[in-house]
Structure 1
């Protein structure tokens, strides 16, 4: 039951859309949120695989690496 209505004839995940479509929509939403943050001048949290460290990337390209707690 979702939103007070019984769900019948839906896919295994309980939705009318496939897992692939759900993933695509999620990725699009994340991309839009990142672009919005950049436009607003907010930093984006990222991870540097080489250094194995998290960092904030600012719209001007500057990076601030996190420190261990």
Structure 2
């Protein structure tokens, strides 16, 4: 699926991902249950991959100087 997002929507998505990643990272660090920590770490990795894709898109959208 391909989404068409405006630059403002991309910025908002990037900010939301950063906030979610930060919160999830804290949960991974403070979770004592091994299975749950592993699941949280997988989710964190997926969010980080998505954030890298958004950042690449942001770079494409910026005009060259």
TM-based fold match above 0.5:
no
The answer to which structure has the higher strand fraction is: 1
The answer to which structure has the higher helix fraction is: 2
Higher relative contact order (CA 8 A, sep 6+): 2
- TM bracket (short chain): 0.3 to 0.5
Normalised by the size of structure 2, how large is the TM-score? 0.38
